[in-house]
Amino acid sequence: MRAATERDWNNLQPMPRDHERISLDLAFTAQQMCSLRLGFIPVDQGQKWFLYFEDDTLHIHRSWTGYKMFEVVFATDGDPARARFARVNLDPECYSGTLDEARETLLELLQYYASDEAHEPYEPSFVSALQEATQPNYLGSPQVVGELLLPFFKGALCKELPRHVSGLEVMPEFEETSYSDLLAINQRITSVLCGEDEAFHGLEAWRTEKGLGQAIIHQLGLDAGWYADENLGCIVSEGLAGVSSQITGIVDDWAKEDAPLDFDDLMHYVAVLQQFTTSVVLGTHTVLFPGITLSDFTWESRTRFVRLDDEVGQEAREEEDLLPGPPVHPRPDDKGKPVKLTAPSTPTALWTWQDAASTAVVIPDGPMPTELAGIGFDSWRGAPMDNAGWEQLAAQSLIDEPPFAPPPGKKAAAGVVVVERDGRVWVVAPSNAFGNYPATFPKGTRDAGMSLQGTALREAFEEAGLRVELTGFLVDVARSTSHTRYYLARRLSGNPADMGWESQCVMLTPVSELAALLTSKNDAPIIQAIKALASQ
């Protein structure tokens, strides 16, 4: 492994005049100094620091902006070597914290990058996401979490209903449940969400007191002061107990109805409550149930949740609810002429964006959720306006790739496979199925003087409305008139509803559905490469 140098990263900024010098007296072993002298070259957006060592000084930059945040000066003539002092960037344009906070960050960085762990072979996060989401019992899947919670909701109902009806013969699939039975189900769910069952995995960073714990406290109505210092197990168990109490109230009020009791209405409403609880566990409640808490679920307020499919998507919307897009694309072609769509695409309900098992579809200027997995769908107003701008953007995060030599007579082209955190993949439907592609990956011909990486970034935005960062080489594919290099990428921002005139819809689809959507033989090698990556 070679050491990083200043030439290995673009757009590096010097230490500004507005900096502070802090004294250090930190000892490092010979092995630790070897690790620090290697520096660090990021290969993924999640790796936020670029480091290189030169003339007994360790230079530490933010990888995306290039800002130099620290310079650490070492005395290396002794044994052990020692870090003597550091310069710290306190320019308000680069840093908004205090000097003490900056010092703490620096110490953490030195400890980490002096370790062997920092230089272990790195698996990009999109690969991990793809692999993790395709494994069973993935707790980032609404289906998995919903199935985990289902016995609790059935049990809570079956504990209350015998007080109001004689037996449960009206619902033969339900069995009367005791308090101890429900408590056992509660404990089972709590153990899974707290990481005590190795068969379940996913969202580990979210399933903490600060993440899931705070969501449960606020959304399920626990006393924030009382539970502030409790562990996640206590919070989850008490949150479920609160849900059970809410179901008790719902059943009691339902049983007071003067009209004949309607079990379907009750089941329907409790199913909405289950989906709300599922969204809290997944952290998607801010999108699916904005402003809603457990206390809102009373039998009297059930009309607020008129249709389960509108809110959380248990059933397909009726045809009149989902209409095809306009017959003319809202954006003209490159010559300024309108683009007529012979068979406009139809969007899907908003809940499909949050369901990792669903294919979500957006049409030009169509509605979108505000975010997915913590990354907003904000329009990219500062997108490059010309090829030079795309080249400048590509130069900020160049990736390693094999040589590219298209056969004689074939145009050089580039495409991009953007993998979402939940393992789904972004694809586009060309307007009027141009080129006999009902759906495909964003791609385009390389212009003279433009790089393949810059071309891929441009196509992701122009065809899918997405701002992405390339994370790796995927595969080269020979087409009838072109030879196309495909890159893997991750979404940084952008709004797919901003798609250009070449696309009549943008889709986010599970890998398992790619072959059914992308029927061109030219896309088969790309799908195979994606599946091979997920199986590694």
- Written as one string, the DSSP assignment of 199-226 is T-BS-TTTSSIIIIIHHHHHHTT--TTT
3-state class percentages of the chain: helix first, strand second, coil last, to nearest 5: 40, 20, 40
Burial class of residue 153 (count of CB atoms within 10 Å of its CB; 0-12, 13-18, 19+): buried
Comparing C-alpha atoms, which of 392, 497, 387 is closest to residue 444?
A: 387
Give Cα 273 to chain centroid, integer Å.
25
How many Cβ atoms from other residues are within 10 Å of residue 401's Cβ?
15
Are β-strands 360-362 and 503-509 bridged in parallel, bridged antiparallel, or unpaired?
Answer: antiparallel
In Å, what is the CA distance from 132 to each residue of 6, 127, 128, 278, 422? 35, 8, 6, 19, 9
If asked whether residues 453 and 520 sit together in one domain, one would say: yes
Cis peptide before 80 (omega within 30 of 0): yes
Residue 320 tokens, joined: 């009149």
If asked whether residues 300 and 364 sit together in one domain, one would say: no
| Residue 374 is assigned to a structural domain of this protein | yes
If asked whether residues 483 and 450 sit together in one domain, one would say: yes
Q: Look up the CATH number of the domain holding residue 438.
A: 3.90.79.10
In order, the DSSP letters of 171-197 are STT-----HHHHHHHHHHHHHHHTT--
If asked whether residues 155 and 280 sit together in one domain, one would say: yes
Comparing C-alpha atoms, which of 382, 422, 375 is closest to residue 203?
A: 422
Domain count for the chain, please give it: 3
End-to-end, the C-alpha distance of the chain in Å comes to 23
If asked whether residues 246 and 387 sit together in one domain, one would say: no
Q: How many Cα atoms sit within 13 Å of 282 on the Cβ side?
A: 30
Q: Give residue 1's pLDDT.
A: 65
| Residue 305 is assigned to a structural domain of this protein | yes
If asked whether residues 263 and 394 sit together in one domain, one would say: no
Q: Give residue 287's pLDDT.
A: 57
Q: Which of 287, 311, 335 is the last residue of a domain?
A: 311
If asked whether residues 113 and 247 sit together in one domain, one would say: no
Residue 458 tokens, joined: 């441009």
If asked whether residues 140 and 112 sit together in one domain, one would say: no
Burial class of residue 385 (count of CB atoms within 10 Å of its CB; 0-12, 13-18, 19+): exposed
If asked whether residues 473 and 511 sit together in one domain, one would say: yes
Q: Give residue 479's pLDDT.
A: 78
How far is residue 349's CA from residue 336's CA, in Å, rounded to a whole number?
A: 32
How far is residue 391's CA from residue 452's CA, in Å, rounded to a whole number?
A: 9
Q: Give residue 315's pLDDT.
A: 39
Q: Which residues of 282-297 are buried (b: 16+ CB within 10 A; e: fewer)?
A: bbbbbbbbeebebeeb
If asked whether residues 110 and 169 sit together in one domain, one would say: no
Verdict on whether the full-model pTM lies above 0.75: no
Q: Are 457 and 470 a contacting pair, CB within 8 Å?
A: yes
Residues 466, 472, 476: CA angle, nearest 5 degrees = 95
Q: Which of 260, 280, 311 is the last residue of a domain?
A: 311
Domain extent, residue 472, equals 350-400+409-534
Q: Give residue 96's pLDDT.
A: 75
Comparing C-alpha atoms, which of 29, 38, 3, 12 is closest to residue 113?
A: 38
Residuewise pLDDT in 10s, the chain (536 residues) = 689 999 888 778 999 888 899 999 999 999 999 999 999 988 765 678 999 999 999 999 988 778 999 999 999 787 889 999 999 998 887 887 889 889 999 999 999 999 988 887 655 555 566 666 667 888 888 888 989 999 999 999 888 888 887 655 545 555 678 889 999 999 999 999 999 998 998 878 788 998 899 999 999 999 988 988 889 999 999 999 999 999 999 999 998 887 767 778 888 889 889 989 998 998 877 656 767 899 999 998 887 775 433 444 443 333 335 678 888 999 998 888 899 998 889 888 887 888 888 889 999 999 898 888 888 999 998 899 999 999 999 998 888 899 998 888 889 999 999 999 888 999 999 999 988 899 999 999 999 889 999 999 999 999 999 999 999 999 999 877 889 999 999 999 999 999 999 999 999 999 988 998 999 999 999 999 998 887 76
| Residue 213 is assigned to a structural domain of this protein | yes
Q: Which residues of 23-49 are buried (b: 16+ CB within 10 A; e: fewer)?
A: ebebebeeebbebbbbbbbbbbbebeb
In Å, what is the CA distance from 55 to each residue of 88, 220, 321? 18, 57, 67
In order, the DSSP letters of 301-329 are TGGGG--HHHHT-SSPPPGGGS----SB-
| Residue 514 is assigned to a structural domain of this protein | yes
Give Cα 208 to chain centroid, integer Å.
18
If asked whether residues 254 and 306 sit together in one domain, one would say: yes
Q: Give residue 128's pLDDT.
A: 60
Q: Give residue 133's pLDDT.
A: 63
Q: Which of 64, 93, 119 is the last residue of a domain?
A: 119
| Residue 143 is assigned to a structural domain of this protein | yes
| Residue 318 is assigned to a structural domain of this protein | no
| Residue 342 is assigned to a structural domain of this protein | no
| Residue 329 is assigned to a structural domain of this protein | no
How far is residue 140's CA from residue 202's CA, in Å, rounded to a whole number?
A: 6
How far is residue 27's CA from residue 445's CA, in Å, rounded to a whole number?
A: 54
If asked whether residues 115 and 223 sit together in one domain, one would say: no
